[in-house]
Amino acid sequence: MADKIQYGPALLLPGDNIHITTNPDTEPFWEAAKEHRLTACECAKCGHFRMPPSPYCPECSSRDKKWPTLPGTGTVFSFAICNKNPANGEDYIYVPIVVDLDGAPGTRLNANVTGCKAEDVTIGMKVTVEWTPIADGWVLPNFRAV
Ligand SMILES: [Zn+2]
């Protein structure tokens, strides 16, 4: 069996170069993030969660939404190890993950993970949210290994 490649610490991308756009369906998620609350879009009629948020519930077609505060924890569903900063092409180790969110069945969120070596990220790893300031006063949820 080959030796595991050693990448080193999984870094978060610097927030200065991260810009987001919002729309009426996504803005409540981002407003909650400013308050360091992780949320997901839940149908106020039938309770079905959906991420990304959309105008209508795919289960019952209701337009009514709720934005409950989630525990802020989750489980890594998938990941990739990247070695270049997309902003400038310089060597930079970061690990985009897809997280199954606790408290919102069926929802997944794309983010980055830190608090461990890149080579130690695994599917099934438990993570907890942390908050990264980004451009224009917004705040991005990322995750830390627990
Ligand atoms: Zn519904």
Mean pLDDT, 10 residues at a time, the chain of 146 residues: 86 92 96 98 98 95 98 98 92 97 97 97 98 97 97
**Looking up tokens 């525990």, which residue turns up?**
71
Residue 56 Cα, ligand 1 centroid: separation in angstroms?
Answer: 8
Residue 63 Cα, ligand 1 centroid: separation in angstroms?
Answer: 8
Give the separation between CA 52 and CA 36, rounded to whole angstroms: 18
Question: Which tokens belong to 9?
Answer: 């610490």
Give the separation between CA 86 and CA 7, rounded to whole angstroms: 17
Residue 4 Cα, ligand 1 centroid: separation in angstroms?
Answer: 45
Residue 26 Cα, ligand 1 centroid: separation in angstroms?
Answer: 17
State if pTM tops 0.75: yes
Residue 140 Cα, ligand 1 centroid: separation in angstroms?
Answer: 27
